[in-house]
Chains A and B, each alone.
Chain A
Amino acid sequence: MTNRTADLLVIGGGIHGCSAALQAAMRGLDVVVIEKDTVARHASGVNAGGVRRLGRDYAEVPISQRSMEIWHRIGELLDDDCGFQRAPQIKVAETDADLQDLKDRAAHLRAMGFEHEVVLDRNELRTHLPAVSEHCVGGLASFDDGFALPYQTTFAFQRKARSLGVRFEENCRAQRVERVGSDFKVTTERGVFTGRKLLNCGGAWAGEIARQLGEGVSVEPTAPMMLVTSRMPRFCTAVVGNQSRPLSFKQMANGTVVIGGGRRGRALPETNVSELIFSELRQTAETAMAIFPIMRQASIVRSWAGIEGRMPDGIPVISASSTEEGAYHAFGFSSHGFQLGPGVGEIMGELIATGATNAPIAPFSITRFTPEP
């Protein structure tokens, strides 16, 4: 018979749910992950795989830094290299105004005490990106970032968590979440689960869980679009972005080029369907060709989009519940949560197991969307 009680119920088997479940289990908690589809079914399994500190919202920089430290030893944590490769992340400036913005950003970060983002002049940019278009004037780099394989990573978190006793209930939708006495009850199509604590990592579906806890936040379902080309000769070893146009660009070890960067398709979370909008994706193609002229010869073999939750202010909710003690949230990563997965999981594991964390998560409180009690 299935044991439906646990110390911690995690709703959502994406990278954040799996990572937090692992960290809670490492701290001795008995954990069940309740996932409506299969682990890594949506954005966590099909994102562009960027492991990037570069260019983050200033509030995210400290937790991104913490997560990066875990990425650099991800193999030790998960017994799986997650396909992680250290590579420079570079944001390209196409105009002098863009370059000035990048210089200002680097100065701001230095004032905060972070040195990882470095300005590149015209020649330095070409040292790192020999194939970059003639018109690009410079850039901003973070050298110890990289990229990884998203499905392999999330799947590795699941397997490691499972090896520590975490139970995964897949194809099991959380229909109702409620507090009963000192416990949380989660009603699913496969019975009622009971836990002392609850963590909402529901991604695009997290808004409904929060609402049932009495916290009305609006999570917009989005479908960031990506495409991959056929194999090309090696021309780029960095992960490349752009200061003023959405772009995420990387050449994988096998020569294929993965291009994303935020142009959005149509997300239909009720049916799990995401649809590509080519009139939008067209702009991604244009940007890629503008930065790397060699891309004119590239052919697209596939495009896709994973369903992700976006917050109105573009940064996630990483927070204790404001209404129910023992409930927590980590969702709404707004299309840039993959790199944060290992770090936020550690923060949530610590917060849930001990009741406290020294991580600066105040800017991510759910109370910024809910009326103060």
Chain B
Amino acid sequence: MNSYDVVVVGAGPAGMACATEASRAGLSTLVLDEQPRPGGQIYRDIEVSDPGRRALLGKDYGEGARIAEAFRASKAEYRSGAVVWNIDSEKRIDYSAGGRSHSVQAKSLVVATGAIERPTPMPGWTLPGVTTVGAVQILLKTSGIVFEDLVLVGSGPLLWLAATQMIAAGAPPKAIVETVPRSRYREAARHFAKALRGWRYLAKGFAMMRAVKKAGVPVHSDAADIAIEGEIAVTAVTFTSGGTRQRIETAHVALHQGVVPNQQITRLMNCKHRFDDSQRAFLPVVDESFETSIPGVYVAGDGAGIGGAKSAEMRGRLVAMRIAEKVGNRAGEAAKLRTELAKDAAVRPLLEALYAPAADVLAPADATMVCRCEEITAGQIREAVALGAPGPNQVKSFLRAGMGPCQGRMCGLAVSEIIAAAKGETPSTVDYYRIRPPLKPLLLSELAGLGAEEPREAAE
């Protein structure tokens, strides 16, 4: 089995920057990533996007090219199309690539698997025609595809970014239904002074909102009680805004309630996690160098708490420096990077307060489906708690919630929130699903062939 000083899972800004820095410091480095090309979600397909597409995706997207070039030029090995499905306590990593499973041994493991979109359970969210804002962006980045009548529903910077990108692409959204309650602006205002250190982000935010207004996209603010209508596919979105019930006919809806750390690998490895009230999500507990409670396991990028692409890149480099320093290799200068990182994070408290998830998705109605794989409703989860099921793992065993192919990625946070509310506790005490391998579905025949590849691998 091949062994590396550093194995990085994920080739987004954090993973690429970490690998570049680690190989510069003389560490043997392997990057495993599911996508065919580096970039992660934020810089997806950055290497192959033409100038036209880059122009409509914006200046920040173009930043990814610099990071990807440095990564390609580095000595780090890179395996694309590699789906990591297990990592054991000895940091042995099993991944699937080219229809076969392979194993590598890491001395240090860097989890750079970033963020996932927060689950958004609401009436009708499982209908064909409903997608997420993140998925809309993937279509735009990889294929230049836009929907003609898309209604964006939810809140967060990504909602506005997607809207401006669609406008630039010549297919503005049919409407934006924003779920930020009016009272939030007052709550968020106290973070404004601090956020001014990150004025570039604020300026970008205001520019996006102006662009939306200029394009004449209707914005329905302070929306609540959202329901997506349709029998076999979406036909309309309804909601209350400005004191009246409104209805927008459409065949396409994209939902978004912000992004949260992807915990699958850190949960699988039994790293300690904590619930962050400001981000309203579970975060792995990490030290100032982003090392988890399991020695030698690091989390770089949004996986350690949402900070955005710039922070992700800096965190990736910091992790590499720390690993190099630990083995006595010459590492880069971390102090300046830390200062920049703090500055980049200044805008976060404002964003987290303003764009906290909507009450609608945190406390869905009893009839709303929460676990899509196993078709479990919020009401069933509340009934299980009433019977005495103490937490997410018992609810999972009892109802099968979180047992489907997505392993709880689409319902986990919502289930923890619903149980916590039903018990009068916080997600912090009820905790989260235990995550079991394989992290992604794996063919039985591939498992049966595990280990058979070693001689062939040597010839590669």
Chain A residues within CB distance 8 Å of chain B: 38, 40, 45-46, 150-152, 155, 158-159, 162, 170, 228-230, 271, 273, 275-276, 278-279, 281-282, 285-286, 288-289, 295-304
Contact = CB atoms under 8 A, between A and B. Distances in A.
B25 interface: no
Contact of A230 (B389, B397, B405, B437): B405
Interface stretch (B52-60, B110-118, B156-164, B441-449): B441-449
Contacts of A282: 447-448, 450-451
Given A158-B388, A279-B450, A303-B438, A298 B394 contact: no
A286 B448 contact: yes
B438 A46 contact: no
Contact of A304 (B89, B388, B394, B436): B436
Contact of A276 (B390, B437, B445, B448): B437
A151 B397 contact: yes
Nearest to A230: B405
A268 to B, nearest CB: 9
Contacts of B398: 151-152, 155
25 contacts: A40-B394, A150-B397, A151-B398, A155-B394, A159-B388, A228-B403, A230-B405, A278-B94, A278-B437, A279-B451, A285-B445, A286-B448, A288-B444, A289-B445, A296-B445, A297-B443, A300-B441, A300-B444, A300-B447, A301-B403, A301-B407, A301-B438, A302-B403, A302-B437, A303-B437
B455 to A, nearest CB: 16
Contacts of B448: 282, 285-286, 289
B387 interface: yes
A299 B450 contact: no
Contact of A303 (B390, B436, B445, B450): B436
B447 A281 contact: yes
A73 to B, nearest CB: 22
A83 B389 CA distance: 17
Contacts of B62: none
Interface residues of B, number: 29
Given A155-B388, A229-B444, A286-B448, 13 more contacts: A40-B397, A46-B397, A151-B398, A155-B389, A155-B394, A159-B388, A276-B86, A285-B447, A299-B444, A300-B443, A301-B405, A302-B438, A303-B437
A311 B438 CA distance: 30
Contacts of A303: 436-438
Contacts of A229: 444
A306 to B, nearest CB: 10
B451 A275 contact: no
B340 interface: no
| The 5 A-B residue pairs with the shortest CB-CB distance in the complex, in nearest-first order | A151-B397, A285-B448, A299-B441, A285-B447, A298-B444
A151 to B, nearest CB: 3
A30 to B, nearest CB: 20
A38 B444 contact: no
Given A228-B403, A282-B448, A38 B436 contact: no
Contacts of A162: 388
A110 B186 CA distance: 81
A223 to B, nearest CB: 12
Interface in B81-99: 86, 88-89, 94
B390 A302 contact: no
A230 B394 contact: no
Contacts of A45: 394, 397
A285 B444 contact: yes
B296 interface: no
Given A155-B398, A303-B438, A298 B443 contact: yes
Interface class of chain B by DSSP: loop
B397 A159 contact: no
Contacts of A158: 388
B86 A299 contact: no
Contacts of A304: 436
A139 to B, nearest CB: 22
Contact of A38 (B88, B270, B390, B450): B390
A275 B88 contact: yes
Contacts of B397: 40, 45-46, 150-152
Contacts of A46: 397
A299 B442 contact: yes
B230 interface: no
A314 B396 CA distance: 31
Contacts of B438: 300-303
B450 A302 contact: no
Interface in B137-181: none
Interface in B389-424: 389-391, 394, 397-398, 403-405, 407
Interface string B423-460: 00000000000001110011111011011000000000
Nearest to B89: A275
Nearest to A296: B445
A297 B451 CA distance: 20
B314 to A, nearest CB: 33
A24 B427 CA distance: 37
A278 B444 contact: no
A148 B450 CA distance: 31
A275 B268 CA distance: 10
Contacts of B388: 155, 158-159, 162
A179 B392 CA distance: 38
A233 B443 CA distance: 16
Pick from A38, A151, A299, A302 the residue with the most CB of B within 10 Å.
A302
Contacts of B94: 278
B394 A170 contact: no
Nearest to B94: A278
A38 B404 contact: no
A74 B293 CA distance: 44
A282 B404 CA distance: 21
A79 to B, nearest CB: 12
B436 A302 contact: yes
A65 B444 CA distance: 35
Given A155-B388, A155-B389, A170-B390, A278 B441 contact: no
A295 B445 CA distance: 8
A338 to B, nearest CB: 14
Interface string B330-365: 000000000000000000000000000000000000
A170 B391 CA distance: 13
B340 to A, nearest CB: 38
B407 A278 contact: no
A150 B398 CA distance: 9
A230 B407 CA distance: 11
